[in-house]
Structure 1
Amino acid sequence: MQIIIYGILWIIVIHIVLRSGLKLNRSNSMLIVKIISLILLSYKLIEYSLHWSQGDFTKMPVEYSAITYILFSITFLFNIKALKPFVTFAAFLSGLGYLVTFPFLGSAFIEGNGLTTTLFALLNHSMLYIGSLLVMKNLFYSIESRKSILICTLLFIAYSISMHYLINFEGKYLFIYMLLDGRILYALFENVDINGLVFLPYNLLIVSIYLGMISIFYKVNTRMYKLYHQTETIRYRKEVVKHEHTI
C-alpha cells in the first residue's frame, strides 16, 4: 500500500515540475531538453563502461527504454531531425508507462532489481517523460512522420533479437524478451499454455496497443502544440496592444 501512495505522490510532483517547465519559452524549454539529454547520456555511458570494462557484456542497451535513453539524448544534443519523431514518441511511451505502472509494480521492481537501481530507473523515466512533453510543446509532428516511427520500431526489434543470439542473457530479467516471446503471460496468468492459438492473438493485441499509443502520441502533440502556441500568440498580441497604448 505504501508503494502505491509513494508512486502517486511522485506522479503529482513530476506534473508540478512539468507545469513549471511548460511555462518556459521555446529556447528555454529546449535547453532543459538538452540538459536532460546530457544527464541521461552521461549516466548511461558511465554505467555501461563500468560493466564492459569488467567483461560483463550482458549489460547491453536492449530494452526499449535503454535504447531510448541513448537515442533521445543523441538526437537532441546533435539535432538529428530524422530521429526526432521516434525518440520523442519512445520517450513519451517509456516515461508514461513506467510512471503509470510504478505504483502497482514498484515492489516487484525493487525486489527484482534492488532499491537503488529502481529509484534511478524511476528518475530516468521521469526525465524522459518530462523531456518528451517539453519537445511536444515546441515541435509539431505531422501524421506523415508515423512511418519513421514504425521503421525505427522494426529496427529496434531486429536489433534486440540479434543481441539475444549474440549475448547470453540467461538469468537476466529483460522485459523486452519476455514481451516478444510471450513469457510475460506466465507472470500474468496461471497455468497458461503458450501455443499458436494464444500467441497469435497475443501478438495482435501487443501491436494494436502500440499503434494505439502512436495515435495518442499524435493527438497529445497536436493539442499541446496548438494550445501553447495559441497562448503565446494571445500573450504577444496583448503585449503589442499594451505597448501601443503606452506610446
Structure 2
Amino acid sequence: MMTNLFSIFEPSSKLNNFSLNWLSPLLGLKFFPYLFGASPSRWSLLWSKIILILHNEFKTILGNFNKMSTIIFVSLFSFIMFNNLLGLLPHVFTSSSHMVMTLSISLPMWLTFMVFGWFFYPNHMFAHLMPQGTPPILMPFMVLIETVSNMIRPATLAIRLAANMMAGHLLLSLLGNNGPSLGWSFLIIILLISQILLIILEFAVAIIQSYVFAVLSTLFASEIN
C-alpha cells in the first residue's frame, strides 16, 4: 500500500527513455507570451505588487549586499511557487516534491555562497564559526557544531520543501483511495469536504514553502557579507 502511495512521486512516465513528468516546470514558458502581449489586469497588478514587497523585504535582509541580487531570490520564489501550485492540478507531476529537484536548487546556491564567502571574506567566514562570547572550553565544540550546521544547510532546505509538498499529497491520496469503499453515504460528504479543505490548505502551504525557501536562501546569502 505504501509503495503504491509513494509511487505518485516517481516520475515514471517515459518516452524514448526520457521522463515526460520533468517537463512540468517548463509549462510556465507557455504563459510568457501572454503576459507580455496582454493588457494589464488585476492579476498582473497584484503579482507586480507581490514582487515589489518581496524585493523590499529581501533588500532589507541582504543589508549592504548588492541590492539587485534580490532578483535571484524573487525569481526563486516565483519558480518554486509555480511548481508547487502546478502540482495541485490533477495528473500533473509535482516536481518540487522530488529530492532531485529541490537538492539541485539548494546545493548549487549554497555552494556558490560558500565559494564567494571564503574567497572574498575569509576572516568573516572564520569568525562566523565562533559566536561572540563563547567560553574558551567550548570553542572547539562550537566550531564543530557550526561547521556541521553549515554543511547540512542545502539538505535541510531540500528536505523541508520536498517533505512538506509530499505530506499533503499523501494525505489527499489516502482520503481519495477510501472514497469508493464508502459508497453513497453521509461519510462521502464528509470526505469531500475534508478534501476541499485540504486542497485549500495545500494551496497555502505551496505559497508558504516557496516563501520560506527564498527567505532562508536570502539569510544564508546575507551571512557572507
Is the pair's TM-score, using the shorter chain for normalization, greater than 0.5?
no
Shorter chain as normaliser: what TM range?
Answer: 0.3 to 0.5
Structure number with the bigger relative contact order (C-alpha 8 A, sep ≥ 6) is 2
TM-score by length of 2: 0.38
